[in-house]
Chain A
């Protein structure tokens, strides 16, 4: 059955749905092709060439759709990526009926509000700049929420090329019992609301009663952890260590478990840490974790640590484009204001340019950040790099460990937990209890999920057999 995604929540709805089955968004005004003739007289019918009649039979439907698409689209035989842009398709056809097609309007420089949240994609602006000279462009479109014309076109094309016939608005599609149930309750495990609640309850129970040593099983360490420990453990005192802090509070729940033992180890080795981040929330997160590490080490005061061993490199914007300079001239690239650091630290940063860091530690929630470093910086300064990543980023980063580009890798909560034990340092009862609780919660949660997957597979087999 043909479906299309809701523009609000992304749920896959049958093409004839008037409202999203998940969030209730009105879908009628956003799918003009599925409307019968005369229902929406002001909507463009450029793709069908004005051949709106009663819905054809399934046998002739595909031909009809194909012919109409061919008529309106000279590049119909080409595949998706080779097709001309929507602007090029629609302009000659709509030019017969309308003096100024909507599709000729260029988009704004930065999408909507999303343009503020994510870096602008300059290519999208350049691509849409074909109509930049259009003097009639209306600037009073809604700030967000409305679909752009390209999205409308893509949806229409999806409907045209779909196997099922677009039904008139108001008609209910003939759903099979399974499809109707899925549409009403979601697909697969998503409809099992009880499963989510069970997972939540198990995790809470593990946190409440999982602090006992007997309930917490020791996690297993993946390869690469020993190399990280060895690299840090062999650092001479006052070695310069560059730390790329590539996570922020959104993933701190997992990444703190990794970052804190590594920072503790560096501080134990009296390494000179220069921390910078390419994420806005990175420096503040780093400061919090470093303060915790210092507290865990029972250092005299936080300011002493900050003044003696940690230099806050700050926020480095620019993404991948700013990294090569960090490999060639780190003292110039690091966003350190000389007014913030004293004279000794300025010498440390200057020494970074002359000798390079003794070790680089990339603490990243995404594999992308480790890969960027290994592509943009490591080939330039040929330095030793170790990484600490989230569990999901581990498999993507591991090939670099095998190729020798990474000198060590710690990933996931299990890696952090094992690294803590490798430090061989007595931890206070609160830290021990928290670690045990988290390990128990992981074990119980994964156990419940495995049971659910097994039960789901058995249910699926049983259902197939009963048919």
Chain B
């Protein structure tokens, strides 16, 4: 059983709800103006969160996975295998270096903290390893999990594969082709817009640009040499860019709508908590009865 399993009696759980109500009101008072109670609520929340995090890391990670195995056999490093060295002693060493660098947060004056430069240099070692690992994992993951699979799905041209992926009917296959065509058009249009900007808007202005800022514009803006081919290319690129620009705004609108729905859900859940959950608690009813009894 997890040591974090709640074993609180009902009244204390109610007290937690009421405490949550008080903290919510304190922080919510920021809506009126910045005040002492709002700041106090934020500080208490941050402090409690940090304390909880420290306990969680100690009991869930540091103790069971690092210190307990080391303390169980403290001289294991003399006969440790390569795996044990990498899973226990190396993390301990890197952690100690990082914690040493963390002493910087204490901000002691230099005369009382002589070795700060050395500690900071040593702390750069685990920080560099951490940064390198994170970057390596992120880049490789982006390629193997996003870039390549999405590209592969977009380029899946075999009708059999398409039918299998989308359900199998001929109508679905046609719809999939339409979606892919739209994907190609919109993606290309957005890329053109992001790379070269609103070409159409610039062309509509009376004053010519001082110089071509893009190959597209250079092709489309060669007014001195009217050429049907160039005009067609330029016009189609401008139309394509316009589609991309509008698609970009459409996507932004969709994301905003979902953001609104998301935030409404949060606000409604909090209001529902105020209006229905708190009044149901035994502690609240006890307080309410006491207040009414005292008032009468």
Q: Do A and B come from one complex?
A: yes
Interface residues of A (CB under 8 A from B): 23, 108-110, 113, 115-117, 120, 122-123, 125-126, 129, 132-133, 135, 137-141, 143, 200, 203-204, 206-208, 251-254, 256-257, 280-281, 283-284, 287, 306, 312, 314-315, 317, 319-321, 323-324, 335, 337, 339-340, 371-372, 374-376, 378-379, 390-392, 394-396, 399-400, 402-405, 411-414, 434, 437-438, 441-442, 445-446, 449
Task: Name B275's contact: one of A123, A133, A207 (CB within 8 Å).
Answer: A207
User: Within 8 Å of chain A (Cβ to Cβ): is B15?
Assistant: no
Which residue of B141, B154, B251, B272 contacts A395 across the interface (Cβ within 8 Å)? B251
- Contact between B110 and A438, CB atoms less than 8 A apart: no
Whether B275 lies near A320 (C-beta < 8 A) is no
Q: How far in angstroms is the closest Cβ of chain B from A276?
A: 10
Tell yes or no: B206 within 8 A of A by CB.
Answer: no
- Check A375 against B4 for contact (C-beta < 8 Å): no
Residues of A within 8 A of B80 (CB): none
Contact A253 B266 (CB under 8 A): yes
A315-B56, A315-B60, A445-B268 as given contacts; A399 in contact with B150, CB under 8 Å: yes
CA distance A306 to B50 in the complex (A): 27
Question: Which of B56, B121, B267 sits near A132, CB closer than 8 Å?
Answer: B121
Contact between chains at B258 and A391 (CB < 8 Å): yes
Complex A-B, nearest 3 residue pairs according to Cβ-Cβ distance, in ascending order:
A253-B269, A375-B145, A375-B141
| B residues 98-140 touching A (CB-CB < 8 Å) | 101-102, 104-105, 107-110, 113, 116-117, 120-121, 123-124, 127-128, 130-131, 133-134, 137-138
Once the chains bind, are B134 and A321 in contact (CB under 8 Å)? yes
B contact residues around A315 at 8 Å (CB): 56-57, 60-61
Is the C-beta of B1 less than 8 angstroms from some C-beta in chain A?
Answer: yes
Q: Are A126 and B104 in contact (CB under 8 A)?
A: no
Complex CA gap A395/B262 in Å reads 12
B residues engaging A (CB < 8 A)? Answer: 1-6, 34, 46, 49-50, 52-53, 56-57, 60-61, 64-65, 101-102, 104-105, 107-110, 113, 116-117, 120-121, 123-124, 127-128, 130-131, 133-134, 137-138, 141-142, 144-146, 149-150, 152-154, 165, 251, 254-255, 258-262, 264-273, 275-276
- Establish whether residues B145 and A254, one from each chain, have CB atoms under 8 Å apart when the complex forms: no
Of B49, B128, B144, B262, the residue contacting A391 (CB under 8 A) is B262
Q: A321-B133, A403-B150 are in contact. List 18 more A-B contacts (CB 8 A).
A: A23-B34, A117-B46, A139-B108, A200-B267, A207-B271, A253-B267, A339-B64, A372-B141, A375-B144, A376-B137, A379-B144, A391-B265, A411-B258, A434-B276, A437-B276, A438-B269, A441-B268, A442-B261
Q: B165: which A residues are within 8 A, CB to CB?
A: 404
Q: In the complex the two chains form, is B265's CB within 8 Å of A133's CB?
A: no
A411 to B2, CA, bound (A): 30
Q: Does B65 lie within 8 Å of A446, measured CB to CB?
A: no
Closest to B264 in A: A445
Query: Which of chain B's residues have a CB closer than 8 A to the CB of A203?
Result: 264, 267-268, 271
Selected from B46, B127, B145, the residue in CB contact (under 8 A) with A125 is B127
SS class, residues of chain B in contact with chain A: helix
Say whether B268 contacts A335, CB under 8 Å.
no
- B110, B138, B144, B153: the one contacting A139 at CB < 8 Å is B110
A-B contact pairs, 23 of them (CB 8 A): A120-B127, A122-B130, A122-B131, A132-B120, A203-B268, A204-B275, A207-B272, A257-B269, A283-B56, A287-B2, A314-B60, A315-B57, A315-B60, A320-B134, A321-B134, A335-B60, A375-B146, A391-B261, A391-B262, A402-B153, A412-B265, A438-B265, A446-B264
| Contact residues in A for B142 (Cβ distance below 8 Å) | 375
**Nearest chain A CB to B105 CB, angstrom units:** 6
Chain A residue nearest in CB terms to B65: A335
A126-B124, A375-B145, A403-B150 are contacts. A140–B107 as well, Cβ < 8 Å? yes
Question: Do the beta carbons of A392 and B267 come within 8 Å of each other?
Answer: no
Q: Are A320 and B258 in contact (CB under 8 A)?
A: no
A324 and B225 CA atoms in complex are apart in Å by 58
Given A371-B146, A376-B145, A438-B272, decide whether A110 and B105 contact each other with a Cβ distance below 8 A.
yes
Nearest-neighbour CB distance to chain A for B55, whole angstroms, equals: 10
CA distance A283 to B55 in the complex (A): 13
B34 contact set on A, CB distance < 8 A: 23
Q: For the complex formed, measure the closest distance between the CB of A333 and the CB atoms of chain B, giving whole angstroms.
A: 11
Residue of B nearest to A303 (CB): B1
Q: B110 to chain A: which residues have CB within 8 Å?
A: 137-139
Shortest A33–chain B CB gap in Å is 28
Enumerate chain B residues within 8 angstroms of A283, measured Cβ to Cβ: 2, 4, 56, 60
Find chain A residues with CB under 8 A from B46 CB: 113, 117
Contact between A139 and B145, CB atoms less than 8 A apart: no
Q: Is A287 touching B60 in the complex (CB atoms < 8 A)?
A: no
On chain A, the residues within 8 Å of B113 by CB distance are 139
Return B75 CB to nearest CB of chain A, in Å: 23
**Cβ–Cβ contact A379 & B261, under 8 A:** no
Q: State whether B131 touches A108 (Cβ < 8 A).
A: no
Q: A321-B130, A372-B141 are in contact. Are A254 and B1 (CB under 8 A)?
A: no
Question: Chain B residues with Cβ under 8 A from A379's Cβ?
Answer: 144-145
Partner of B269, one of A256, A319, A372, A446: A256
Q: For B4, list chain A residues within 8 Å (CB).
A: 283-284, 287
Residue of A nearest to B57 (CB): A317
Complex: A198 Cα to B251 Cα, angstroms: 28
Among B105, B137, B149, the residue within 8 A (CB) of A324 is B137
CA distance A396 to B251 in the complex (A): 10
Measured CB to CB, the closest approach of chain B to A288, in angstroms, equals 8
Query: Which B residue sits closest to A123, measured CB to CB?
Result: B131
Contact of B137 among A109, A115, A321, A395 (CB under 8 A): A321
A376→B141 contact, CB < 8 A: yes
**B264–A139 touching, CB < 8 Å:** no
B278 to chain A, nearest CB (A): 13
| A392 / chain B contacts, CB cutoff of 8 Å | 255, 258-259, 261-262
User: In the complex, A113 Cα to B107 Cα: how many Å?
Assistant: 12
Please name all residues of chain B whose beta carbon is closer than 8 Å to the beta carbon of A108 when the two chains form the complex: 104-105, 107
B108 x A319 contact (CB < 8 A): no
CA distance A132 to B251 in the complex (A): 45
Chain B residue with Cβ nearest A222: B258
Chain A residues near B269 (CB, 8 Å)? Answer: 252-254, 256-257, 438
